[in-house]
Amino acid sequence: MLLSDFIELIYPRQCLGCGNQLLKAEKYICLSCLNKMPKTNTHFEHDNNIIRKIAGKSEVLNASACYWFLKNSIVQNLIHNIKYKGFKNAAKEIGIIYGKELLKSDFYNNIDIIIPVPLHISKLRERGYNQSEYFAMGLSLSMGKKLVTNVLYRGYATETQTKKKIYDRWLNVKSNFIVKNSHLINGKHILLVDDVITSGSTLTSCSDTLFSIPETKVTIATIASTF
């Protein structure tokens, strides 16, 4: 059993947003917090605050988040619990809820596959799980779309790359993702998934990497987004 599973067993009945005791029917987040968390509803808008973080850099079709991320908020508590306290299944639960919403949007009901942003291997070892993959699992369940985790990987700086000039190294960091098994995404409409979008640089870098494969389309969904 993973440590994170164990933690969920010990503390299964506290709201991850406000810390209050959960009722029997509530899962991870109490009803009061669920109602208070600010939904973005950006999945219905082609031009929105979230895609503007990507637009101009990448030809992403649409980008949306389930909730707005504000400092000292329920959403911030929830994300903290998901990322650092082992509550990975809460990300899956939000994926299940949000997937149902996304299917109501014409931007999202025609996607083919779901790909989570990979964690760096050292972070994955430290944390034991990729929270974005759990969010993607939930989306996959409720949207009925295949989860694909053997295509997008974090790249590694080779020895020759570390000897390059600073500017080249910066470029290398910017495009620090690689595609394997490209036949799996050729011609596919990909739903690229992450936990939080802030500057948009990670998702821009990921989508640019996916666009190197012919005929791919990319749409983005995250649990939360800053304004």
Applying CB under 5 A, the span of 18-26, 63-71, 112-120, 211-219 interacting with Zn ion comes to: 18-26
162, 158, 171: which is closest to 208 by C-alpha?
A: 171
Positions 39 through 98 that interact with Zn ion (CB under 5 A): none
Provide the minimum distance between the beta carbon of 13 and Zn ion in the complex, in angstroms, as a whole number.
12
Residue of the chain from 27, 28, 33, 43 that contacts Zn ion (CB under 5 A): 33
Give whichever of 27 and 188 is closer to Zn ion, judged by the CB atom: 27
Residue type, 188: K
Applying CB under 5 A, the span of 22-30, 50-58, 84-92, 118-126 interacting with Zn ion comes to: 22-30
Output phi, psi for 128, to 5 deg.
90, -10
Give whichever of 18 and 55 is closer to Zn ion, judged by the CB atom: 18
Give whichever of 34 and 184 is closer to Zn ion, judged by the CB atom: 34
Characterize the bridge pairing of strands 217-225 and 63-68. parallel
Q: Note whether 96 and 144 are within 8 A (CB).
A: no
Give whichever of 67 and 177 is closer to Zn ion, judged by the CB atom: 67
Binding residue count for Zn ion, defined by CB under 5 A:
5
163/139 Cα distance (integer angstroms): 41
Residue of the chain from 7, 8, 14, 18 that contacts Zn ion (CB under 5 A): 18
Query: Residue numbers of the site for Zn ion (CB under 5 A)?
Result: 15, 17-18, 30, 33
